[in-house]
Structure 1
Amino acid sequence: MPSSFDYAIVRVVPRVERGEFINAGVIVFCLEHKFLEARVRIDEARLKALWPAIDLELVRRHLEAIPRVAAGDPTAGPIAQLSQRERFHWLVSPRSTIIQVSPVHTGLCEERPEGMLGELASRLLD
């Protein structure tokens, strides 16, 4: 029986005023399977093409925090201690910073949500 899941795409928007972005991650939440996980990947060359002066180390640190919050890693701060549902909603809340998240999309998966996360990451981040 298929399971419903929600997902959002993590984007890096180097110059918010221009609205240009690259996809840099995906967050998947499936309540039925008690699954919340995020994968991030950054194409540094594409990002530098959008803004040569971008601080890649700063962007990397912010992106690397997303999977840690999703996993409930205690080193990720107090947000990581919230329930899975609360962490998901915090992760996908609208922001006007360099790291932004798409609207939440819903889907159905025939398999475990881990497989859907891999498929979405391949399709949206490569």
Structure 2
Amino acid sequence: MPSSFDYAIVRVVPRVERGEFINAGVIVFCLEHKFLGARVKIDEVRLKALWPQIQLDLVRRHLEAIPRVAAGDIAAGPIARLSLRERFHWLVSPRSTIIQVSPVHTGLCEERPEGVLDELSKRMLD
């Protein structure tokens, strides 16, 4: 029986006023399988092309926090202690900062949600 899942793409928007962005991560949530996972990947060359003055270390730190919050890593702070659903909604909430997320999309998976995360990561981040 297929399971429904929700996902969003994490984007880096170096200069918010220009609206240009680079996909930098994927967040997948499947309540039925009690799964919340995220992957991030930074294309530093493309980011520098959009904004040569971008602070890559700062962007990297913020992006690397996303999978830790998704995994419920206590070191990620109080948000990581929330329930799966609450963490997902916090991760995908709209922002007007340099790190943004796409609208949430829905799908069905026949396999385990980790496979969906793998597939979406390859399709959206490579």
TM-score (norm 1): 1.00
1:64 alignment partner in structure 2:
64
Percent identity over the alignment is 88
1:112 alignment partner in structure 2:
112
**1:76 paired to 2:76:** yes
1:90 alignment partner in structure 2:
90
Q: Output one character per residue of 1:86-118: Cα deviation in whole Å (capped at 9) or x when no partner.
A: 000000000000000000000001100000000
Structure 2 gap segments, 5+ residues each: none
Aligned to 2:38, the other structure's residue is in SS state strand
- Rounded to whole Å, the distance in 2 between the matches of 1:77 and 1:113 is 25
- Rounded to whole Å, the distance in 1 between the matches of 2:119 and 2:2 is 16
The runs of at least 4 consecutive aligned structure 1 residues that moved more than 6 Å come to none
- Residue correspondences, number: 126
Structure 1 gap segments, 5+ residues each: none
- Rounded to whole Å, the distance in 1 between the matches of 2:66 and 2:23 is 14
- AA aligned opposite 1:91: L
TM-score (norm 2): 1.00
1:75 Cα deviation (Å)?
Answer: 0.4
- Rounded to whole Å, the distance in 2 between the matches of 1:110 and 1:25 is 23
Q: Output one character per residue of 1:8-58: Cα deviation in whole Å (capped at 9) or x when no partner.
A: 000000000000000000000000000000000010000000000000000
Alpha-carbon RMSD: 0.3
Aligned to 1:37, the other structure's residue is in SS state strand
- AA aligned opposite 2:87: R
Aligned to 2:120, the other structure's residue is in SS state helix
- Rounded to whole Å, the distance in 2 between the matches of 1:118 and 1:75 is 25
Instruction: Note the 1:18-57 alignment, pairs <5 A.
Output: 18-57=18-57
- AA aligned opposite 2:24: A
Aligned to 1:32, the other structure's residue is in SS state coil
- Rounded to whole Å, the distance in 2 between the matches of 1:119 and 1:81 is 27
